[in-house]
Structure formats: structure tokens, C-alpha cells
Amino acid sequence: MADRFDFAPLLSGDAQRRAAPGRLVSASDAPADVVADLVVGQPAPEALPLQAMVEAAQTSLPDNPAALLYGRRQGHLELVDAVREKLRVFEGLDVDRDQILITNGSSQALDMVLRAFVDRGQLVALDEASFGALFVHRVTDRGAHVPWDAQGPRADDLARLFETERPALFYTIPTFQNPMGATTSLARRRELLDLCRRHQVPVLEDDAYYELHYDGERPPSLYELDGGTGLVVRAGTFSKILGAGIRLGWILTAAPLAERILPLKPDGGTSPFSSTLAAAFMRRHMREQMTRLCAIYGARRDLMLETLDEHVGARARWSRPNGGFFVWLTLQRPELAAEVIDRCRRNRVLVRGGAEFRMDGNDLGAIRLAFSHAPTADIQAGVEVLGRAIAAAAAANP
Ligand SMILES: Cc1ncc(COP(=O)(O)O)c(C=O)c1O
């Protein structure tokens, strides 16, 4: 056999910088014998509308060759219209077709928007802990995390940052934040938008969980508050409302900006096949699906919070999310976070540490717990193990 070809030194600078295995891939590779996988922000298996998708295929595929041909670059028009209808029904928002781009999950949307505004070496402002750190890393090494208080990202800290160095973009997840499970208040949203407009900093609103609202307040999106001027680009996804395997998301912004972002999309049209099925599904099942999902996830959220009250108590504090998939737990003794995570892993309970959500690797003494995917018995068992791990770590480090 010929010698192995040594490609590593020949890789581009971009590929060299990404030498570490992708964290999104490793997240779904949990060992089979876990007691509880509280890592993945995937939908619950029982929330997946498999039978309805079979029916969607039966009604939408026959006599529809377009589903298996290359598609329009902007995205399948029926799906563009399904997103518009969703925005109209659930938010009372009227948007035009040319304000929406369909993408391969919102992951591609985030990547495109970051590439549209950020050059390597430029600074990006992002939430105190952010799912977006992973995506920002792909375009620049420089991120400034804005601390959050009970209202959301602190406007005074953002203002100070803007005065020191104007970032190329402010990337925020204002609603049912990942990982923090918190929501930016209406007043703070207005303040942040004001600040960004004054300093000419575009805003990326990553809005993966907007639809999954269980109780309490959910302010209008930043996009809506701004009135579609082009200051805000909002990214949404079908991953949480239909299923992550459908790989469909969207970008919503002012039409002239959408036109500038579109050329950053390298494909032959986001899967017309998936798009055809998703559009057919949304036409028939959108409202009932949202109601169902909120009932399923709301109950899981309640269960996780009750179990935390019972088994963790005063050794930590945690968020009480009104929607989304995650609870964010901050240890009373933050220096023990790595040990607690390790003790959980040794007892086959998987959780995600705070460092994964930072550009600087600071774990903030925090742990993210996903309640969306694990069966309810696993949520209880997992939180019980977590409680014991926190107590054991404290006892071992008096
Ligand atoms: C905040 C947030 N944005 C974006 C995504 C990406 O989702 P997808 O690419 O599946 O649409 C996720 C997935 O977990 C998320 O939590």
C-alpha cells in the first residue's frame, strides 16, 4: 500500500485552526449505557411528528419533481411562505418573501450572518455564556462576553465595550437563552437596540426557541422591536418545532440586507426535498404541533426544577426558564464545577460545563442541563446523581 499522504501541513489556516473535533458532533455521540444524557438540546423522541411527516410526503411528493431537483438559492418558496405564516399567526408579523432566506438549519444561518459582518481578527460581542461561541470561533478568535443580570445583557457593560472598541456584531439569544435559560426583558431589549443603533453595531438575534414558550413573559423579538430596519438579523429553525433531522432554518431581515447575505450560501438550494415536506407539514399541523410541544416540554421543565429543589437545594442556584430546553445551574462553590462534572460522568450522567459556551474557556462555575431530550425517569435519576456529585465534591474539598 502507498504511504499515507501527509495532508495536515497542507491544510488552509482556517482548517488548521479547527483541529479540535466539532463539539456538536461529539454531543450526539453519547455512550449507550448512560444513566442520563442531559447534554443534548435535541427534541424529545415523542415530540417528533413521524406519522404526520409520512402523510406530508404522501400528499406533497407525487407529481412534484421539483422536490428532487436543485432548488432556488433563497429557498423553497412554499417554505418561505410557511415561515411567513408562522410569523403572522404566532407574532402578528407581516413580512415579505424577499425578507426570508431558507438555510440548512439555523447553524448555516448563523455562519452566514457572521461571515457577512465579521472579518478574522474583529471583535464580536456575545452573551455572558452563549451557544454562539462555537460559531463565533469559526470566524474570529475575538469575543467579548457581556455579563447578564436579571433583565438580560447589561446595557452599561455593552456601552463601555462600545466605547473601548466597536464590535463588528452583537450576537445575542434574547429569548429562552441557550445555555442560560433566561430571557431579556422588554425594557432591556429597547435599551440594547438603542445602544446598537447609536454605535452602528448590527445585531444577530439567534432565536431558536421563540416558539417553545411555556408560561410567564415572552417579549417581542428584537427584530420586531426594531421594525425591520436592517439593524437586526433574526435566525430561526425548524429543529425545535419539527425535528433537528429536517435540517432547515431561516434568516429574517430587511430585504436589501437579505440580498447581501444570500451570496454567502454555497449550495444548490437548501434541500428542496426536506423543504417540501416541512411546508406540507406546517400547512396542516403548525398550531397543534406548537401546543403539543409546549405541553411536553413545559412538563419536563417542571420535573427538572422540582427534582433540583429536592436534590440540590442550597448548594447551587439555577434559572427557571419560561421556555426553551435548558436550565443553567451555578454552583455555590464555582471552583468545584469541573470536579462535579467529572463525578457525574463517572456515574454515567452527562452534563455540559459552562466553558463550552465561552470564547475564553472560563466555566463560570456553571453547568447546563437539557430537559428536552432525556426520558423523564432519566431527568430524575440524572439530577439525583448531580445532587450527590455536588455534595461529594464539597465534602472532598472542605
Ligand atoms: C440557540 C441555538 N441556535 C441555533 C441552534 C442550531 O440549530 P439548527 O442548526 O439545528 O437549526 C441551536 C441548536 O441547539 C441553538 O440552541
Number of Cβ atoms within 10 Å of the Cβ of 345: 15
Counting ligand 1 atoms within 8 A of each CB, the residue from 178, 204, 211, 328 with the most, and so the one to mutate, is: 178
Counting ligand 1 atoms within 8 A of each CB, the residue from 104, 131, 204 with the most, and so the one to mutate, is: 131
DSSP assignment of 202-231, as one string?
A: -EEEE-TTTT-B-SS--PPPHHHHHTSSSS
Q: Domain residues of the chain, as ranges?
A: 22-49+289-396, 50-284
Residue of the nearest CA to atom 15 in ligand 1? 208
43 lines ligand 1 (CB under 6 A): no
Residue of the nearest CA to atom 12 in ligand 1? 208
131 lines ligand 1 (CB under 6 A): yes
42 lines ligand 1 (CB under 6 A): no
User: What whole-number distance in Å separates Cα of residue 353 and Cα of residue 186?
Assistant: 29
372 lines ligand 1 (CB under 6 A): no
Whether the Cβ atoms of residue 109 and residue 103 lie closer than 8 Å to each other: yes
pLDDT for position 7? 87
271 lines ligand 1 (CB under 6 A): no
Amino acid type, 239: S
For residue 76, give the nearest of 219, 229, 280 by alpha carbon: 280
User: Which atom of ligand 1 is nearest to 249's Cα?
Assistant: 11
d(CA 106, ligand 1 centre) in Å? 6
d(CA 198, ligand 1 centre) in Å? 29
Q: 22-49+289-396 has which fold? A: Aspartate Aminotransferase, domain 1 (3.90.1150)
User: What whole-number distance in Å separates Cα of residue 181 and Cα of residue 161?
Assistant: 24
pTM over 0.75: yes
389 lines ligand 1 (CB under 6 A): no
206 lines ligand 1 (CB under 6 A): yes
User: Which atom of ligand 1 is nearest to 42's Cα?
Assistant: 14
307 lines ligand 1 (CB under 6 A): no
106 lines ligand 1 (CB under 6 A): yes
d(CA 235, ligand 1 centre) in Å? 9
Non-local (6+) Cβ contacts of 132 within 8 A are 110, 126, 171, 173, 204, 206
User: What whole-number distance in Å separates Cα of residue 176 and Cα of residue 89?
Assistant: 20
326 lines ligand 1 (CB under 6 A): no
Adjacency order of strands within the sheet including 326-331: 316-318, 326-331, 366-370, 352-353
d(CA 26, ligand 1 centre) in Å? 15
CATH entry 3.40.50.620 includes domain 50-284: no
Tell me, what DSSP letter sits at residue 142? E
User: Which atom of ligand 1 is nearest to 248's Cα?
Assistant: 11
Non-local (6+) Cβ contacts of 266 within 8 A are none
pLDDT for position 28? 47
Counting ligand 1 atoms within 8 A of each CB, the residue from 79, 183, 206 with the most, and so the one to mutate, is: 206
248 lines ligand 1 (CB under 6 A): no
* Below-70 pLDDT ranges, the chain: 18-32
d(CA 369, ligand 1 centre) in Å? 16
102 lines ligand 1 (CB under 6 A): no
- CB-side exposure of 297: number of CA atoms within 13 Å? 33
